[in-house]
Amino acid sequence: ETGVTQSPTHLIKTRGQQVTLRCSSQSGHNTVSWYQQALGQGPQFIFQYYREEENGRGNFPPRFSGLQFPNYSSELNVNALELDDSALYLCASSSDQGQETQYFGPGTRLLVL
């Protein structure tokens, strides 16, 4: 059983650019949640995808968007990057069956200059 993986591990972008982050969920998991973790803070919920549909969204603007694919992997897209978007982006996968634990990946560190 493989864990949650994310790519890339690090990324540097400039203000105004667009970025796509990727997440492969743990085997057997059909739910992916994305979180933003600013330095020294707890993770903040961005949105969740369940069976390819958005299933809840946190207090983030529409320039944060996502996708979930039939194999349950997921992408987070951020348009018009701002300096404050610099953070660790975490994805967590979980199942709607049995244990409901969210398993986090190692994250993608995004720096916006």
Report the residue number, 14 or 44, with the smaller CB distance to other proteins. Answer: 44
Which tokens in the block code for residue 36?
Answer: 């933003």
Minimum Å distance from CB 26 to other proteins?
A: 12
Instruction: Find the helix or strand (DSSP H, E) in which 64 lies.
Output: strand 64-68
| 41 touching other proteins, by CB under 8 A | yes
- Binders of other proteins among 85-104, rule CB under 8 A? 90, 92, 94-96, 99-104
Q: Which residue has the tokens 């369940």?
A: 50
Report the residue number, 3 or 16, with the smaller CB distance to other proteins. Answer: 3
Residue 104 CB-density burial (10 A; 0-12 exposed, 13-18 middle, 19+ buried): middle
Stretch that binds other proteins, among 11-19, 35-43, 61-69, 75-83 (CB under 8 A): 35-43
